[in-house]
Chain A
Amino acid sequence: DAKTTQPTSMDCAEGRAANLPCNHSTISGNEYVYWYRQIHSQGPQYIIHGLKNNETNEMASLIITEDRKSSTLILPHATLRDTAVYYCIVRFDNAGNMLTFGGGTRLMVKP
């Protein structure tokens, strides 16, 4: 039952890279790391996931440490629309169902 630890909040200047850390020191070998974000009063939005290797898509990059105990989500050029709560998730039950999100990091992108 891997749990995650994220900072409660972070600020980022518009146009700069936003680096959001997540600790998941109890992650097991076959558990993926998923990142979602939730803009106020909307449904969560999938961003990216990874197992061991670093991943990149049109939204973000995911850097996973070699021991897999932590990861960093990178938004390369943050915009005001990236202001949201960002969740790092590794907690799934034996059937692969996501049980909860946890507290997340509230990212505020400022002009």
Chain B
Amino acid sequence: ETGVTQTPRHLVMGMTNKKSLKCEQHLGHNAMYWYKQSAKKPLELMFVYNFKEQTENNSVPSRFSPECPNSSHLFLHLHTLQPEDSALYLCASRGEGPYGYTFGSGTRLTVV
């Protein structure tokens, strides 16, 4: 365990479904992130939250909707996804200073 917990680990959903990914950290970090990692593509930043406020939306389609109710929890709400959205979705957190990111184990999403 890294200190960042993601659930579920695996998710299969149809294109008309609505689902949510959850991320939780109790490291006292103030910044939380969603990243997407597709097969054979580099990691891509999706959303950034600092002190619960969204500070960056990296041109992500509106079918992905983030929510950060407090500094320990981060959600990614999914609706009407496409098969090309199938990927590993990673949550990360970071504290103050030039320290590294702590990643969760990811949610492997398959859209059918």
A residues at B contact (CB < 8 Å): 32, 34, 36, 41-46, 49, 51, 93, 95, 97-103
Residues of chain B at the chain A interface (Cβ within 8 Å): 2, 4, 6, 31, 33, 42-45, 48, 55-56, 58, 88, 90, 92, 98-106, 108
Nearest 6 A/B pairs, CB to CB: A46-B100, A43-B103, A101-B43, A43-B105, A44-B103, A43-B106
B88 touches A44 (CB 8 A): no
Give the distance in Å from the alpha carbon of A41 to the alpha carbon of B6 in the complex: 13
**In the docked arrangement, what's the CA distance between A87 and B1, Å?**
21
Could you tell me if A98 and B42 are in contact, using CB atoms closer than 8 angstroms?
Answer: no
- Per the bound structure, the CA–CA distance linking A32 and B43 in Å amounts to 19
Chosen A-B contacts, 7 in total, with CB atoms closer than 8 Å, are A36-B101, A42-B106, A43-B6, A43-B92, A45-B2, A49-B100, A101-B43
On chain B, the residues within 8 Å of A103 by CB distance are: 42
Q: Is the CB of A97 within 8 A of B42?
A: no
Q: Is the interface of B mostly helix, strand, loop or mixed?
A: strand
Choose one: A43, A51, A95, A102; the contact of B42 (CB below 8 Å).
Answer: A102
Cα distance A41–B108 in the bound complex, in angstroms: 8
A36, A42, A44, A99: most-surrounded residue (chain B CB, <10 A): A44
- B42 touching A101 by the CB < 8 A rule? yes
Closest to A44 in B: B103
Q: Which of A32, A98, A102 is in CB contact (< 8 Å) with B101?
A: A98
B87–chain A nearest beta-carbon distance, Å? 12
Contacts of A41 in B (CB 8 A): 88, 106, 108
Give the residues in chain A near B4, CB-CB below 8 Å.
Answer: 43
CA distance A32 to B6 in the complex (A): 28
- Pairwise interchain contact B108-A46, C-beta atoms closer than 8 A: no
Determine which residue in B42, B44, B88, B108 has the highest number of CB atoms from chain A within 10 A of its CB, and name it: B42
Measured CB to CB, the closest approach of chain B to A5, in angstroms, equals 14
Give the Cβ gap from A19 to chain B, nearest Cβ, in Å. Answer: 21
